[in-house]
Structure 1
Amino acid sequence: MGVVVGVILDESVVLASDSPQHENPSLLPLADSLLRKLRHSKIPTGISYDLGLSDDKVSLLKRLATLYSFDCFILNTSSVDDAKNEIMLAWGDTGGSILYVVSDKKKKFFPKLSNCSWLIVVLRSLGQESADVTEGGSSCENSSMIFINKLEELPSTICHINRKVSKATGNSVVTVGYVMKPSREEDFAKRGAFPLYPTQNGLIFMPLTFELPLSPQLQEIDIVLHKATDEIKSIELKSRTNFSNRIVYTSGMQDLQR
Structure 2
Amino acid sequence: MATERPVRLVLDASLLLDPVGGGGAEEVAPALRPGAEALLRRLRYSNLGVAICCSEETPTYVSDFLEKTANLHSFGITLIPAPNGNRLLGESMLEWSRSSSCFYATSRIDEELFSELQSNNWRVIAVDTERGTKDSGVVNISKLQELLLTLAILIKKELASSSVLMVGYSMKQSREQDFAKRGAFPLYPSKNGIIFVPLSFELPLASQLHEVDMIIHKMTDEIINIDPNCSINFPQGISFSAGMSEIIRFMEQYPDFCIIDPFKNISPLLDRLQIQEILVRLQGLGAEGRSKLRAPHSLKVKNFHGSELQKQLAEANLSFPIIVKPQVACGVADAHNMALVFQIEEFSNLSVPLPAILQEYIDHGSKIFKFYAIGDKVFHAVKNSMPNASLLKSSSGDEPLTFNSLKTLPVATKEQLLQNRVQDNKSLDIDLVQEAAKLLKESLGLTIFGFDVVVQEGSGDHVIVDLNYLPSFKEVPDSEAMPAFWDAIRQSYELKKGKVQT
Give the structure 1 partner of residue 83 of structure 2: 76
Question: 1:177, CA displacement in angstroms?
Answer: 1.0
> Equivalent of 1:11, from 10, 13, 27?
13
Q: Does the residue aligned with 1:199 lie in a helix, a strand or coil?
A: coil
Residues 72-116 of structure 1, C-alpha deviations (whole Å, 9 max, x = no match): 111131686352x12466x69534x21101113545643443433
TM-score between both structures, scaled by the size of structure 1: 0.83
Give the structure 1 partner of residue 63 of structure 2: 58
Give the conservation status (yes or no) of the 8 Å contact 2:53–2:82: yes
Question: 1:10, CA displacement in angstroms?
Answer: 0.3
Give the structure 2 partner of residue 116 of structure 1: 120
Q: Which has the higher contact order (CA 8 A, sep 6+)?
A: 1
Rounded Cα–Cα distance in structure 2 between residues aligned with 1:156 and 1:122: 14
Give the structure 2 partner of residue 211 of structure 1: 202
Give the conservation status (yes or no) of the 8 Å contact 1:49–1:74: yes
Mapping for residues 1-258 of structure 1, pairs under 5 Å:
5-19=7-21, 21-67=26-72, 68-69=74-75, 70-77=77-84, 81-83=88-90, 85-87=91-93, 93-95=98-100, 97-107=101-111, 109-125=113-129, 128=131, 144-166=137-159, 168=160, 170-239=161-230, 242=233, 244-258=235-249
Give the conservation status (yes or no) of the 8 Å contact 1:3–1:162: no
- Counterpart AA for 1:160: I
- Counterpart AA for 2:207: P
Question: 1:220, CA displacement in angstroms?
Answer: 1.7
Question: 1:240, CA displacement in angstroms?
Answer: 5.8
Rounded Cα–Cα distance in structure 2 between residues aligned with 1:124 and 1:174: 28
For structure 1, list consecutive stretches of 5 or more residues without a partner in the other structure.
Answer: 131-141
Question: 1:206, CA displacement in angstroms?
Answer: 1.6
Q: Does the residue aligned with 1:157 lie in a helix, a strand or coil?
A: helix
- Counterpart AA for 1:157: T
Rounded Cα–Cα distance in structure 2 between residues aligned with 1:104 and 1:92: 21
Q: Does the residue aligned with 1:198 lie in a helix, a strand or coil?
A: coil
Give the conservation status (yes or no) of the 8 Å contact 2:127–2:140: yes
Return 143-152 or 112-121, whichever deviates more.
112-121
Rounded Cα–Cα distance in structure 2 between residues aligned with 1:143 and 1:107: 11
Question: 1:236, CA displacement in angstroms?
Answer: 2.1
For structure 2, list consecutive stretches of 5 or more residues without a partner in the other structure.
Answer: 250-502
Q: What is the identity percentage for the equivalent residue pairs of Structure 1 and Structure 2? A: 36
Give the conservation status (yes or no) of the 8 Å contact 1:159–1:196: yes
TM-score between both structures, scaled by the size of structure 2: 0.44
Give the structure 2 partner of residue 139 of structure 1: none
Please identify the structure whose Cα radius of gyration is greater. Answer: 2
- Counterpart AA for 2:155: N
Q: Does the residue aligned with 2:191 lie in a helix, a strand or coil?
A: coil
Question: 1:210, CA displacement in angstroms?
Answer: 0.8
- Counterpart AA for 2:137: S
Question: 1:162, CA displacement in angstroms?
Answer: 2.3
The 4+ residue runs of structure 1 with deviation greater than 6 A are none
Residues 19-48 of structure 1, C-alpha deviations (whole Å, 9 max, x = no match): 263431111111010001111000000001
Give the conservation status (yes or no) of the 8 Å contact 2:54–2:82: yes
Q: Does the residue aligned with 2:99 lie in a helix, a strand or coil?
A: coil
Residue 193 and residue 79 in structure 1: after superposition, are their counterparts in 2 closer, same or farther (change >3 A)? farther
Name the structure with the higher helix share: 1
- Counterpart AA for 1:117: N
Rounded Cα–Cα distance in structure 2 between residues aligned with 1:241 and 1:58: 54
